[in-house]
Amino acid sequence: MYQPPHFREEDLGTQHALIRAYPLGLLITAGNGGLIANPVPFHLKTDLSPKGTLQAHIAKANGQWREIQAGAPVLVVFQGVDSYVTPSWYATKQETGKVVPTWNYAIVQVRGDARIIDDPSWLREQIGALTGENENSRPQPWGVDDAPPEFISAQLKGIIGIEIDITAIDGKWKVSQNRPVADRQGVARGLDEIRHADAAEMADLVRRYDK
């Protein structure tokens, strides 16, 4: 990933927070079958390896797991909030007119040692953790135990686990840090006017990274 120094985010806690907030990662492999990419929801554990461990499952009918089992390199991309940035928000537009549109975003890319796990107990724990992470904020959370045991057992037979010990993790927060202060302030105000959750989150990032 192209990484200008002013956009680089190296804090592991911040990187992990984005993964938890946007757990649907793009799982990319490059094996004998060529490039394969699938969106997969991941659960992050921080106590199994120094930089964290990603756990997921995919359908056994999805041949990507065989590429991983054969040793294909793995890249997982987690896309956070993003937003178009119009030059009209820049103070520089009024001063010189020498401005162009751009796109702001926050993203994390992960590489690691991946392995395939075909173990019903591991899979049951993984889907429980993943489900709990996404259900716990609901007034009446759904749990895996809410479904009949025989149904869950049958479902487990159709999936296979993936575990990735993170060896390299890169964060890129492109949130207008390369613009003059007045331009950054204009971007934040412009995003405030959109009145959309993603725009509000991006406005907050622009202000937080206004150094």
- Residue where the block lists tokens 């007034």: 139
Residue 205 within any structural domain of the chain? no
DSSP-assigned beta bridge partners for residue 171: 9, 108
Q: What is the pLDDT of residue 170?
A: 98
Residue 94 forms part of a structural domain = no
Q: In this predicted model, what pLDDT tens digit does every residue of 147-164 receive, in sequence order?
A: 999 999 999 999 999 999
Task: Decide if 173 is inside a domain.
Answer: yes
137 in a domain, yes or no? yes
pLDDT in tens, 101-120: 999 999 999 999 999 999 99
> What pLDDT is stored for residue 126 in this prediction?
96
Give the model's pLDDT for residue 98: 86
Q: Which residues are within 8 A (CB) of 8 and not within 5 positions of it... i.e. 6 or more apart?
A: 170, 171, 172
Position 151 in a domain: yes
Instruction: Give the pLDDT of residue 93.
Output: 86
**pLDDT number for residue 38:** 98
Q: What's the predicted TM-score (pTM) here? A: 0.94
Which of 79, 96, 61 is closest to 179 using CA atoms? 96
Cα(169)–Cα(76) distance, rounded to whole angstroms? Answer: 10
- Domain-embedded: residue 206: no
Distance CA 31, CA 134 (A): 32
The pLDDT of residue 210: 80
* Residue numbers of the domain that contains 129: 5-87+100-180
Name the packing angle between helices 181-194 and 197-208 (round to 10°).
160
- Please report whether residue 198 resides in a domain: no
Residue 195 lies inside a defined structural domain of this protein: no
- Our count of domains for the chain comes to 1
CATH number, domain of 17, equals: 2.30.110.10
What residues in the chain have per-residue pLDDT under 70?
A: 211
